[in-house]
Amino acid sequence: MEYEDLHSWDMSPKEAMEIQRNLRDRLQLDVEPPPFKTVAGVDVSYDKGSSDVYAGVVVLDCGTLEKVDQAGAVVSVSFPYVPGLLSFRETPAAIEAWKKLVKKPDCVVCDGHGYSHPRRFGLACHIGLVFDLPAIGCAKSRLIGEHAAPGPEKGSLEYLMDSGEVIGAVVTTKDNTSPVYASQGDRVTLDRAVKTVLDCCTDYRIPEPTRQAHLLVNQLRRGEVPQDEPEQQTLFG
């Protein structure tokens, strides 16, 4: 699968922050995309003491939430673990999984933040630009911002605010469970991002695309290979 080669991945944290500020200007946050027929979930996992990063991309049919494609990758990286810069550690592994896909999805949901980020450029923003797709962030915990507590019923929400700006939504995706933090990545409105997250949530708190991607990542960590064996690659020299 093709992707946009936006920049080198060999950089310092200071350089990474500057890239976030520069790429933020490319985001399109007022776009209402056509109906999604397929949606991909992206999940990336690693051990803080290891250089190995495990990535999974799973494509589902939006109507049935049945799996239509998936790919995984294991990549060794050297970019440090820095809060707010996790996309520079995780995106290279996601790219390696993405390259193995056969079916290009209509949008992607990331297990992480998008616009709800200190520099308004989280993982979902980075992935949206790299994969050249509408992208949505759906995180399990708050990174920044303040909000009231949403109601306990599925579909209840409160806006996530930072310095007087709406940066995301805090959404109850299952009755009587903790909410998730939905935000725009690229080429999607916040309302559409929230709707997509809710449409993809069935029996679980997190959307099915990222849940399936998480399951795939766990299989990779355990050495189980559901499809072709992932290539072990080393980035950043």
Please give the Cα distance from 121 to 115 (Å, whole number): 5
Residue 155 and residue 163: Cα distance in Å, rounded?
25
According to DSSP, residue 10 is labeled -
Domains of the chain: 13-234 (3.30.2170.10)
pLDDT of the residue at 225: 62
Least confident of 45-49, 99-103, 171-175: 45-49
pTM: 0.92
Render pLDDT for 72-128 as a digit per residue (tens, 0 to 9). 999 998 899 899 999 999 999 999 999 999 999 999 999 999 999 999 999 999 999
Among residues 63, 5, 27, 58, the alpha carbon closest in space to that of 188 is found at: 27
Per DSSP, 49 falls in state T
d(CA 48, CA 217): 16
Report the C-alpha gap between 53 and 137 in whole angstroms.
20
The DSSP symbol for 146 reads: B
142-158 pLDDT, tens per residue?
999 999 999 999 999 99
Measured CA to CA, the distance from residue 96 to residue 101 in angstroms comes to 10
Of the CA atoms within 13 Å of residue 216, those in its CB half-sphere come to 31
- Asked whether the CA dihedral 117, 169, 188, 56 is positive or negative, the reply is positive
pLDDT of residue 237: 24
What pLDDT shows up at residue 230? 40
- pLDDT at residue 224 in the model: 82
